[in-house]
Amino acid sequence: MAKNMPLRFYQLQDGYRYNSDSLLLVDFASNIIAPKCSKIKKPKKILDVGAGCGIIGMLCTQHFATESSLIEINSTMAKLARHNVHTNFYHKSQSAISISPMPKIYQADFLDPNIAHILEHKKFDFLITNPPFYREGALISENTFLREARYASVLPPDRWIVQSKKILAPRGGLIFCYHPDDLATILALLQKEGFTCEMLRLVYPLLSRKACLALLFARLNSKTPLSILPPLITHNSSCQSDFTQEVAHIYATYKTHSIKVFSSDIVEAHLAQPT
């Protein structure tokens, strides 16, 4: 599939919809999953946890030729992700020049004790996720889709970081984003579980504002020292459309087209799940 073709994503009108965090995370992942200096052509195996409509895993397939698996706990969102896979990749995967398999969707709880069996005992090079990180005490939404996508209690970091070791290859890595206020906790959890944070980048809405997002890469059994990358500033001014040059380039690179649907209108994709 051509990298310059926008992916089409059906997403919920009455639920959580992806935002710029997902695009910033995919761009951050580019130098980890597909570094320009690498001569290795074998596709990396990635697992997108809490995949939602599937944007992160599918962008990785499109741009980095990964062998992508996506896991989503909510059955409606899993159906939506499956539909998005077929919309964007089904006909392309039939081509003789297809360079990577279609992303595969698993509707399951990543925290299930039998996660290795659920994921068919695959071992992944990278786990990538934009996890829910709203703290306890925040106003809890009554909307199930919003609640599952936003609140850390649904996917606590102390549990998913431990769980990730069951499905990662030796020296496998975690690529994820989190709220900067929780960085000390996250770094301590990573160290406790045998991960070394190798790369960290903070995102700021304006040069004069506090950081609003942290992008992290941590690897199992690594002795590589932490590299703190230059800050990513998203806007030149308070005008919402006044993006910095770097962010404008990210949006132009990872182009998407959003189509909003109501959850009540979602049915299982009519094409069979690839095996």
* Lowest model confidence (mean pLDDT) among 93-97, 143-147, 267-271: 93-97
In which band, very low, low, confident or very high, does the pLDDT at 275 lie, cut at 50, 70 and 90?
very low
Residue 52 has pLDDT above 60, yes or no: yes
Query: pLDDT tens digits for 224-252?
Result: 999 999 999 999 999 989 999 999 999 99
In which band, very low, low, confident or very high, does the pLDDT at 78 lie, cut at 50, 70 and 90?
very high
* Lowest model confidence (mean pLDDT) among 8-12, 172-176, 191-195, 232-236: 8-12
Highest mean pLDDT among 33-42, 47-56, 91-100: 47-56
What would the mean pLDDT of 107-120 be, rounded to a whole number? 97
Residue written as tokens 């045998």? Answer: 194
3-state secondary structure the chain: CCCCCCEEEEEECCCCCCCHHHHHHHHHHHHHHCCCCCCCCCCCEEEEECCCCCHHHHHHHHHHCCEEEEEECCHHHHHHHHHHHHHHHHHHHCCCCCCCCCCEEEECCCCCCCHHHHCCCCCEEEEEECCCCECCCCCCCCCHHHHHHHECCCCCHHHHHHHHCCCEEEEEEEEEEECHHHHHHHHHHHHHCCEEEEEEEEEECCCCCCCCEEEEEEEECCCCCCEECCCEECECCCCCCCECHHHHHHHHHCCEEEEEECHHHCCCCCCCCCC
Mean pLDDT of the residues in the chain: 88
Portion of the chain with pLDDT greater than 90, in percent: 71
Residue 3 has pLDDT above 90, yes or no: no
pTM: 0.90
How many Å apart are CA 13 and CA 273, to the nearest integer?
Answer: 25
